[in-house]
Amino acid sequence: MTTVTMSRGTFPFYLLVLVVALAFFEYGGLVAGEGALLLTLVFWTALLQGVIAAAAVADLVGARWITLLRRQILAAYPLLLVSPLLLILLVPRLDLYPWAATPGQWLNAPFFLLRNLALLLAVYGTGRLYARRSLRGDPRTPASAVIYLFAFVTSQTLVAFDWVMSLEYPWISTLFGAYFFVEALYAGLALAGILCFLLPLRQREGLAAAEVRPLRDIGLLLFGFSVLWGGLFFAQYLLLWYGNLPEEVQFIARRLESFPLRALSVFFLTANFLAPFLGLLGRRAKRSDRVVGAVAALVLTGLFAERLFFILPVAPMPVGILLVENILFFAFWLLTVHSREQLLPTATERSID
């Protein structure tokens, strides 16, 4: 059976096809609604930046789980280029933001685009440098991992404040930035968990007990991050609840008073905290690729639902277009992982950084 694979020569073409397809679904006039592209962009930016960040952290601390998954995980780095392209596509949608009518010094369209574009390109540049060094086994890998992580944290903080929080301007939460980059890291680990599940059988068969460690470690990390996520969520919620100030509480009250969003909040609380916590509590569960894969998929769905919870009240969106855009993105990521041998440098390739 022949399968579609990308090479370094054809990758820009495929990338262009993805961006044009997303633009067509968003602006092709198929259905009304304007939030699908923003949600897709926010979700996939977190996912792609987060999975590279998870690898960078693992490289930095010398974690062993990364060795078996390095090429599969780092296959996502060329996709970091999609975020700045999609941000440019978002320009006609900037009137979604309440500040667009009365621009200020920080929140105005040109500066918004400029700083976000610059940061997304910086994340791509630093991510590319880190990924290529890590794949070649370069001794300078830890230094580039630190630089990437710095760009990642700054970018995700800005995603939280600029892209999502300013939708509800003047509502503010100082924890939002930290919350978003922790979530991005959580999403990255969940994507690594899905990769563990998707690893071809021939790579999993015959693994000795010591080699099952990557799976167990990812299960452990997902378990730990579910507690961290629960803590951050609760810290934010408790302060809003206790203070009960109208300008703070309206963000949550508005979302909890209607049916779909209320149900979404219960779902993402279960998917991001309760299910991973209870599901991965047992030792055997953490070693099962099916359990880790299922929990990872649930976490990703939960994070998607949470982004929907944030964005939907401000920017209504057609469910069909939203699903098509995200399935398209997911398929493109799978294609990148599948074509990793053609796209990624090998350990023996000459340094061109």
Partner 1 sequence: MARFVCESREEFLERLRGLVDAGADPQTIHVRMPFYVPEAMQILGERPDRLRFFPLVGGIAGFGSGLALTIYSVLSWPIIVGGKPIVSLPPFLLIGYLLTILFGAVGSFAGFLLLARLPSGRGLAADGEFPERFIIIVETGEGE
CA distance linking residue 315 with residue 152, whole number of Å: 26
- Measured from the CB atom, is 27 or 237 closer to partner 1? 237
- Measured from the CB atom, is 106 or 241 closer to partner 1? 241
Q: Please identify which residue in 24, 27, 150, 237 interacts with partner 1, judged by CB under 8 A.
A: 237
Judged by CB under 8 A, the number of residues near partner 1 is: 10
Q: x/- site string to partner 1, residues 59 to 98, per CB under 8 A?
A: ----------------------------------------
- Measured from the CB atom, is 150 or 234 closer to partner 1? 234
What's the distance, CA 279 to chain centroid? 22
- Measured from the CB atom, is 238 or 334 closer to partner 1? 238
Rounded alpha-carbon distances, angstroms, from residue 269 to 117, 129, 165, 175: 32, 36, 20, 18
Give me the helices (H) in 137-212, please: 141-158, 176-198, 201-204
Token pair belonging to 93: 């949608």
241 scored as a contact of partner 1 (CB under 8 A): yes
State in angstroms the smallest separation of the CB of 239 from partner 1: 10
Q: x/- site string to partner 1, residues 293 to 322, per CB under 8 A?
A: ------------------------------
CA distance linking residue 281 with residue 276, whole number of Å: 8
Q: Please identify which residue in 64, 115, 262, 283 interacts with partner 1, judged by CB under 8 A.
A: 283
242 scored as a contact of partner 1 (CB under 8 A): yes
180-189 burial, b for 16+ CB within 10 Å, e for fewer? Answer: bbbbbbbbbb
259 scored as a contact of partner 1 (CB under 8 A): no
- Measured from the CB atom, is 1 or 209 closer to partner 1? 209
Residue holding tokens 């794949």? 135
CA distance linking residue 305 with residue 264, whole number of Å: 6
Of 230-238, 310-318, 327-335, 338-346, which part binds partner 1 (CB under 8 A)?
230-238
- Measured from the CB atom, is 45 or 226 closer to partner 1? 226
* Inter-residue long-range contacts of 170-177, CB under 8 Å, 24+ positions, other chains counted: 170/247, 171/247, 171/248, 171/250, 171/251, 173/236, 173/240, 173/248, 173/251, 175/232, 175/235, 175/236, 176/236
> Using CB atoms within 10 A of its CB, is residue 344 exposed (0-12), middle (13-18) or buried (19+)?
buried
- Measured from the CB atom, is 230 or 318 closer to partner 1? 230
206 scored as a contact of partner 1 (CB under 8 A): no
238 scored as a contact of partner 1 (CB under 8 A): yes
CA distance linking residue 338 with residue 341, whole number of Å: 8
State in angstroms the smallest separation of the CB of 259 from partner 1: 22
210 scored as a contact of partner 1 (CB under 8 A): yes
Return residues touching partner 1 (CB under 8 A): 209-210, 234, 237-238, 241-242, 244, 281, 283
